[in-house]
């Protein structure tokens, strides 16, 4: 059974393509089941974040068929998808998974959020029933390696993340963040990090908008913020100097018209907006408006690069840890596969031996002496087991016979040359 990892990420695909390929959370259980209906796909785990969409598959999956399925799901050109997709086979899929889980493959080197997102994706697949004997050890090994990287290197010791980068840009636009009002749209892990960084920078006037008020209230309590529903955005937008959005919405929540109205009510005071979501929460046309500073996740790259230099040496050390982990996984996987093969072989030989024993039992039942029957039984079993080898020895040429003879001795633990001496 083979393992295949494939996908696109921020390194290979534009934000426009990534948002087209993003999966809504409510779609995932059904999509997992659809994937496992494709020829050769026995197991599947899907990961969909703002920076990547990836599939981890086990069985005998076809790259072409899986890509065709992905393209059809999102009405994409197969050629366009092929141009930006990457593939990893077997143990290399573990290396990639571990790098993703530890943040080595992230837009922000070493960012921790992806680990939780991967664990959630794995839990979803487990619950759906699309994880079995191949992907389960793969993901457990990947998680263990990520934890090892975190504990043994400095990859996560510096506050560098998309959330941190967004707040960092705000400090360059506003001289005093403590005097700013911030509106955060969404209530997930990224927004929680944004709120944490804003509060650390002195922001005390926070509003959190979410689709469900209960989740907004839960997060708001941690930061003494005001919770509101998404439907209240048009009435609240003009109050915000800083707007940072990260939801799982499939359609924009903040349009150009809404922002124009807010700017009018603000008397053209500038507003700083960051759209971390994929698909985007804020219409791209908002960037055309004066007095608006709009950034997307791709725009944060320069800030991120300045803040991640301290993690580069740790990343080299992390790669060594992952390489060792992949070597260990390869050995363990080979042991498991060998054990499965040996079990199959043992079961087959036991079945044949039992059949011979059943045939010779008749002689005992007829009263024949066991001293006569048991040697015949042993001889019959031996002849049946070695018959294919005897045929090969008779049919091969001199060189082939010698090779087969030596291999048989090795497999049976014999050393007849020494015995002859």
36, 50, 84, 180: the active-site residue? 50
User: Is pLDDT at 418 greater than 80 in this prediction?
Assistant: no
User: Is pLDDT at 268 greater than 90 in this prediction?
Assistant: no
User: Is pLDDT at 417 greater than 70 in this prediction?
Assistant: no
For residues 277, 279, 281, 286, the Cα torsion angle rounded to the nearest 10 degrees is 110
Per-residue pLDDT band for 419 (boundaries 50, 70, 90) equals low
pLDDT at 102: 94
| Percent residues over pLDDT 70 in the chain | 97
For the segment 29-41, the average pLDDT, to the nearest whole number, is 96
For the segment 391-400, the average pLDDT, to the nearest whole number, is 82
Per the structure block, which two tokens stand in for 363?
A: 């002689």
User: Is pLDDT at 251 greater than 70 in this prediction?
Assistant: yes
Indicate the average pLDDT of the chain. Answer: 89
pLDDT at 414: 76
User: Is pLDDT at 184 greater than 70 in this prediction?
Assistant: yes
Whether 180 is catalytic is no
pLDDT at 79: 94
For the segment 99-115, the average pLDDT, to the nearest whole number, is 89
Superfamily of domain 162-305: NAD(P)-binding Rossmann-like Domain (3.40.50.720)
Same fold for the domain at 2-155+315-335 and the one at 162-305? no
User: Is pLDDT at 421 greater than 50 in this prediction?
Assistant: no
Domain ranges of the chain: 2-155+315-335, 162-305, 369-416
87 contacts 65 by C-beta, under 8 angstroms: no
pLDDT at 380: 82
* Separation CA 152–CA 167 (nearest Å): 28
Please give the order of strands across the beta sheet that includes 86-89: 41-48, 52-59, 2-9, 86-89
CB within 8 A of 326, min separation 6: which ones? 91, 92, 94, 95, 98
For the segment 179-185, the average pLDDT, to the nearest whole number, is 96
User: Is pLDDT at 420 greater than 70 in this prediction?
Assistant: no
Largest pairwise CA distance in the chain: 111
CATH class of 2-155+315-335: alpha beta
183 phi and psi angles, rounded to 5 deg: -115, 120
For the segment 101-130, the average pLDDT, to the nearest whole number, is 92
H/E run at residue 350? helix 312-365
* Separation CA 1–CA 58 (nearest Å): 7
* Residue 356, CA distances (Å) to 48, 344, 351, 384 in order: 57, 19, 9, 9
Q: What is the pLDDT of residues 38-65, one digit of tens each?
A: 999 999 999 999 899 999 999 999 999 9
For the segment 150-161, the average pLDDT, to the nearest whole number, is 78
- Report which listed range, 110-119, 376-385, 398-407, is most confident: 110-119
């Amino acid at each position: 059974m083979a393992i295949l990892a494939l996908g696109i990420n921020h390194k290979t695909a534009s934000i426009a393509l990534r948002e087209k390929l993003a999966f809504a959370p409510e779609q995932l259980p059904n999509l997992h089941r659809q994937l496992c209906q494709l020829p050769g796909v026995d197991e599947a785990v899907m990961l969909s974040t703002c920076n990547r969409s990836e599939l981890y598959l086990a069985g005998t999956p076809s790259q072409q068929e899986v890509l065709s399925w992905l393209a059809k799901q999102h009405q994409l050109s197969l050629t366009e998808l092929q141009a930006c997709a990457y593939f990893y086979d077997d143990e290399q899929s573990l290396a990639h998974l571990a790098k993703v889980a530890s943040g080595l493959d992230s837009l922000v080197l070493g960012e921790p959020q992806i680990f939780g997102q991967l664990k959630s994706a794995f839990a979803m697949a487990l619950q759906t029933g699309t994880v079995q004997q191949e992907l389960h050890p793969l993901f457990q090994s990947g998680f263990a390696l990520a934890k090892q990287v975190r504990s043994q290197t400095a990859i996560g010791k510096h506050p560098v993340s998309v959330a941190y980068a967004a707040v960092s840009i705000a400090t360059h636009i506003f001289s005093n963040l403590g005097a700013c009002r911030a509106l955060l749209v969404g209530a997930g892990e990224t927004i929680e990090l944004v709120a944490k960084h804003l509060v650390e920078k002195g922001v005390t006037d926070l509003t959190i908008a979410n689709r469900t008020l209960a989740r907004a209230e839960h997060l708001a309590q941690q930061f003494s913020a005001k919770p509101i529903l998404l439907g209240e955005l048009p009435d609240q937008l003009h109050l915000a100097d800083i707007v940072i959005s990260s939801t799982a919405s499939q359609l924009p929540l903040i349009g150009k018209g809404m922002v124009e109205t807010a700017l009018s009510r603000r008397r053209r005071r500038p507003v700083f907006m960051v759209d971390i979501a994929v698909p985007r929460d804020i219409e791209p046309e908002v960037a055309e408006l004066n007095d608006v500073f709009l950034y997307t996740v791709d725009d944060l790259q320069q800030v991120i690069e300045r803040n991640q230099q301290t993690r580069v040496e740790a990343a080299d050390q992390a790669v060594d840890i992952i390489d060792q982990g992949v070597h260990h996984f390869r050995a363990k996987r080979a042991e498991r596969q060998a054990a499965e093969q040996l079990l199959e072989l043992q079961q087959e030989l036991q079945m044949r031996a039992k059949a011979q024993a059943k045939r010779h039992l008749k002689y005992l039942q007829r009263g024949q002496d066991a001293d006569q029957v048991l040697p015949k039984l042993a001889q019959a079993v031996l002849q049946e087991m070695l018959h294919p080898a005897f045929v090969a020895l008779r049919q091969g040429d001199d060189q082939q016979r010698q090779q087969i003879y030596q291999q048989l001795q090795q497999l049976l633990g014999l050393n007849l040359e020494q015995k002859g001496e």
